Structure 1
Amino acid sequence: MSEQHDCSREPGDAVPHILRKWLSPFRFWFTAPSWEHLLVLVMGALLSPGKRTVTACLRITGRAEVSNFAAYHQLLNRARWNSRTLAARLLSVIVARLVPEGPVGIGMDDTIERRWGQRIAARGIYRDPVRSSHGHFVKASGLRWLSFMVLSPVPWAKCIKALPVLTILCPSERHDQKKGRKHKLLTDWARQGVLQLCRWLPGREIIFVGDSSFAVHTLAAALPDTATLITRLRLDASLFAPPDQRHEHTLGRPAQKGRPLPKLKTLLKDAKTEWQRIVASSWYGKQTDKTLDVTSGTGLWYRRGTPPRPIRWVLVRDPSGRREPQAFMSTNSTLSPLRSLPISFGAGRSRSPSPKRERILAWKPNGSGTTKPSCARPRRCWRSTASSHSGHAICSVMASFPMPPPGTRKQSSPSPMPSVRFA
């Protein structure tokens, strides 16, 4: 008879009972040996002060001299467990604990993992968002990951945190050409991830938030009725009025759009534009009570080949002139201007959650949905990113959520969410 796995015989610190309780919702999808190895790696990732490699996790938990150290590495590159199923379970746990009712805010952002090697076949050359500026272009080589993060206020942190639930690897165009596959753009992977999250949360209203990379017609056209997209909008975007109503003497096919609306950049210079003065409680994470001027309107966002999409646009300018004017859009045109305006402008300074920490729940596009890698052999152990900030995306959509009825909020504890009031 083969000897059964007994974790108590292994040297090193025992896994705390509280950690087993926290991770118990994921126990069903692992075998007994893989589950014990996973608990050790998670415990080591939480305790490691430096790089969270598998070796560092074993060393800090007292298992530096174990004879079966290869089994811990094989958990990430050979063991069979469905990452997409775990991502769905993680999403349900986070939503049930932190967002039990109301709309669910999900941020989208891409990040680059700088890795080299012969086995890293899906890497490409992209623009470095951290070191690049408007006048200086810096290239970076690595793997491109797309992360979906639940945006929720954490009570003990008194701020909004981005909790990664799904990560998708976006192979480079050169890699797809070598494999003979059609290349998918970043927005194509975003559309696939958006539809997957909507299937995982049936009946819930979902608000997706992203930067200008996701302001594309194909993504907005693919949204289901229960989903809303809030993102930046170009100041020269083509907006149109609704088409005129048809009558019995109207000839031809029904019109999809009406007359063109003025460009948003012309509204900035128009003296007849009516601005509304508001005060934002948070400005780039440092300044409080920031005064802003906003104006809003509705229109049809249209491009040939895609159906017209009714949107609400919000134009924001800084009265002091220190910041450039910005435009935002929401695919839900019924939202009020202040509710469709993301308030946390400081999200552009925070970086995306590193894929090194969250690839344990990554969805790799190899067709099988399992964690067996198709391009790289992972050697690291990544910790949970429950306290990670989203980057470059507009993280705070709490202003777009309906306010609770009067008298239901507790007045004793301050709200961690940013607020807006009229000046």
Structure 2
Amino acid sequence: MKGPPLPAEIIAILSAFAPVMRVTTWLKAEILLIGAFLCQGPRRISSILRVLGKSNERRFEKYHRVLNRDKGSCALCAKILLGLWVALLPADFPIIIAVDETLERRKGKMIKAKGCYRDAVRSTERRVVKCFGLKWICMALIIPLPWNERPWALPFLTVLAPSKAANERRNREQRTVVDWTVVMLRLVSRWLRKSWILVGDGAYACIELGHHCRKHGVTLISILRRDVNLYEFPEPPRPGKRGRKSTKGKPIAKLKDMAKDAGQNWTESGITGYGGKKKSIKYLTGVNLWYKAGEVPLPVRWVLVIDPDNPERPEAFFSTDTEMSPEQIVEHFVLRWNIEVTFEKSRAHMGIETQRQWSDKAIGRTTPVLMGLYSLACVIAKEMSQTMKLNAEVTAWYNKEGQATFSDVIAFVRRSIWAAKFFLNSKSTDKSIKLPRQELDFLINQLVMAA
């Protein structure tokens, strides 16, 4: 059981995950990881074995067991992957983690955790499209990379959220997206043991989640409804006054009304928008208590923003860190959009939604592994880019202006693996390279083979 020769950088990075599982399991898992990098199209075990030249492997079922039977911890792998990236963060860049859910379209009676959800990719403001699939909640670290001006969101922890019907069939308590996020929040806080920032869309604008974040030293940044109930802080109780102390003061005006009030003292400022582009905005800000019946009031700094290019659509954001500046709140929230790019690229290049497992354990492992491979490819590319140049592939119809994309990253990693296999013994000064007929036939077969 032996995989292809690998560059030293890939061996060093993959070896960090070896202690998570038994030696025999790791030898199989390492082969699957390398094959998953080399595959183009569906990431199935059969495709991986074929691309590695193991089509005649008699005991091919042992590779399926890595996902559906062998012991291993995805949580420990996520911890290691997060540690690799945190160590590479620039000293002046905060730890920002984006959280969002994505839908993996799956059908079949054997897919027990599936449900019917709104498909955010296919839906529009006027038309809602629903489909069956699996809901995954993903946390991704925001990190700047040398080959792109836009910071990337690199997933490290992905959790399956079974549907309500699936939990009822198994007599399990239903957990909402916020409930799962709290579990992930506690786990990541225990790993990092330092302050960090959690950024999410409107689904994570929750008072309960905000209190959990404050308890664990985490700053929550999200979008805020413009009709939310905000209150002043309560006045100190008068001496000798009896009864329960007030938890909130007087209500302030609704944010939607402030946006229409031309008499407000708007502040003009510049921020760094998506893709590193500078943008001018106008904003109002304040520190108040966010209150909802049945919840303990949550102190937040809110920011009401108007884009001069689109003044008809004001937006509101909040942070549980009341000392954070309004510009920082808006800039950190803008970084959340990078996780949407990650979801799209992982479908296009890492084979998300192409797997066909029916085993519950295999289903629960495959998508988190493929998401982790997206990040792992970037780790490998960053290490190898110190000694080799990562080129952005350009065409006459697509000028990337020197900004590499994930297609360039995965091609960079694939090329290094193929080069280590076929050109290891070739001299760097040779003008021509001779390949044995068997190896040449293998490469040609990989080009012409149907997915």
Structure 2 length normalisation: TM-score?
A: 0.75
- Residues 1:161 and 2:155 are matched in the alignment: no
Contact 2:210/2:320 (8 A) holds in 1: yes
Closer, same or farther: CA 132–346 of 1 in aligned 2, 3 Å: farther
Q: CA deviation at 1:98?
A: 2.1
What CA deviation, in whole Å up to 9, does each residue of 1:116-154 have, x standing for no partner?
122211100111111212221111210000001111111
Contact 2:189/2:216 (8 A) holds in 1: no
Question: Which residue is equivalent to 1:4?
Answer: none
Q: Distance in 1 between matches of 2:8 and 2:27?
A: 12
Question: Which residue is equivalent to 2:174?
Answer: 183
Q: CA deviation at 1:159?
A: 2.2
Supply the AA of the counterpart residue of 1:189: W
Q: Distance in 1 between matches of 2:377 and 2:12?
A: 22
Contact 2:41/2:351 (8 A) holds in 1: no
Q: Which one is further off, 129-138 or 261-270?
A: 129-138
Alignment of 1:365-404 (within 5 A): 373=360, 376=363, 382=370, 384-386=373-375
What CA deviation, in whole Å up to 9, does each residue of 1:300-335 have, x standing for no partner?
011122211110011111213276211100011111
Aligned sequence identity (%): 32
How many pairs were matched up? 366
Contact 1:15/1:40 (8 A) holds in 2: no
What CA deviation, in whole Å up to 9, does each residue of 1:361-406 have, x standing for no partner?
xxxxxxxxxxx835848778736112899xxxxxxxxxxxxxxxxx
Supply the AA of the counterpart residue of 1:220: G
Supply the AA of the counterpart residue of 1:280: I
Question: Which residue is equivalent to 1:211?
Answer: 201
Q: Distance in 1 between matches of 2:311 and 2:336?
A: 17
- Gaps in structure 1 of 5+ consecutive residues: 1-6, 360-371, 390-423
Structure 1 length normalisation: TM-score?
A: 0.79
Question: Which residue is equivalent to 1:409?
Answer: none
Q: 1:147 aligns with which of 138, 157, 180?
A: 138
Alignment of 1:256-405 (within 5 A): 256-283=247-274, 285=275, 288-321=277-310, 324-342=313-331, 345=334, 348=337, 350-351=340-341, 353=343, 373=360, 376=363, 382=370, 384-386=373-375
Q: CA deviation at 1:343?
A: 5.7
Question: Which residue is equivalent to 1:93?
Answer: 84
Q: Distance in 2 between matches of 1:225 and 1:66?
A: 50
Question: Which residue is equivalent to 2:239?
Answer: 248
- Gaps in structure 2 of 5+ consecutive residues: 353-358, 379-451
Q: Distance in 1 between matches of 2:272 and 2:219?
A: 24
Q: Distance in 2 between matches of 1:346 and 1:21?
A: 30
Supply the AA of the counterpart residue of 1:249: G
Closer, same or farther: CA 186–225 of 1 in aligned 2, 3 Å: closer
Contact 1:123/1:171 (8 A) holds in 2: yes
- Residues 1:52 and 2:65 are matched in the alignment: no
**Larger Rg belongs to:** 2
Supply the AA of the counterpart residue of 2:238: H
- Residues 1:173 and 2:189 are matched in the alignment: no
Q: Which one is further off, 373-382 or 166-175?
A: 373-382
Instruction: Tell me the SS of whatever aligns to 2:370.
Output: coil
Closer, same or farther: CA 58–141 of 1 in aligned 2, 3 Å: same
Supply the AA of the counterpart residue of 2:287: T
Contact 2:68/2:362 (8 A) holds in 1: no
Q: State the superposition RMSD in angstroms.
A: 2.8
Closer, same or farther: CA 221–159 of 1 in aligned 2, 3 Å: same
Q: Distance in 1 between matches of 2:335 and 2:324?
A: 23
Q: CA deviation at 1:351?
A: 4.3
Q: Which one is further off, 341-350 or 303-312?
A: 341-350
